[in-house]
Structure 1
C-alpha cells in the first residue's frame, strides 16, 4: 500500500485559529480609530489640532485595516 498524506497532518486549521486573534484585534483597533475620527468635533475653522487629530485617526484606521488585510491574505 502507498502512504498517502493524512488530513490530520495538515496544520492549516490551527493556523487559521491562530491568525484569527490578530485579525480580530486589528479590526477592533481600526474600528476604534474610525469611531474616534467620526466623534472629534473641531471648535471652529481655526482648530488645527482637531483637524490633525481627525487626519491621524483616519490614517491609523486605514493602516490597521491594511495590516489586518495583509494578515488575512498572508497564509493563502
Structure 2
C-alpha cells in the first residue's frame, strides 16, 4: 500500500515536471528575434559597416595592452 502511493506520487511528479519542461521549451522557441534599434546617423550605412558587438575587440585590445607592460622583478635579499 505504502509503495503504491509512493510510486503514484513519483509518476505524478514526473508528469508535472515533463509538462513544465515542455511549456518552457515551447516558449523559448516561440520568442521573436531581438531587433536592434537604428543608430543615429547610420541610416544609409549598410548593416555590415556597423559593429554589432565591440566587446571582443575591446577585450583583445585591453589584453594586448596589459601584455606589453613588463612585470616588476622582485628584489633579491
* TM-score, scaled to structure 2: 0.39
Q: TM-score normalised to the size of structure 1?
A: 0.40
**Structure having the larger proportion of residues in helix:** 1
**Rg (Cα) greater in structure:** 2
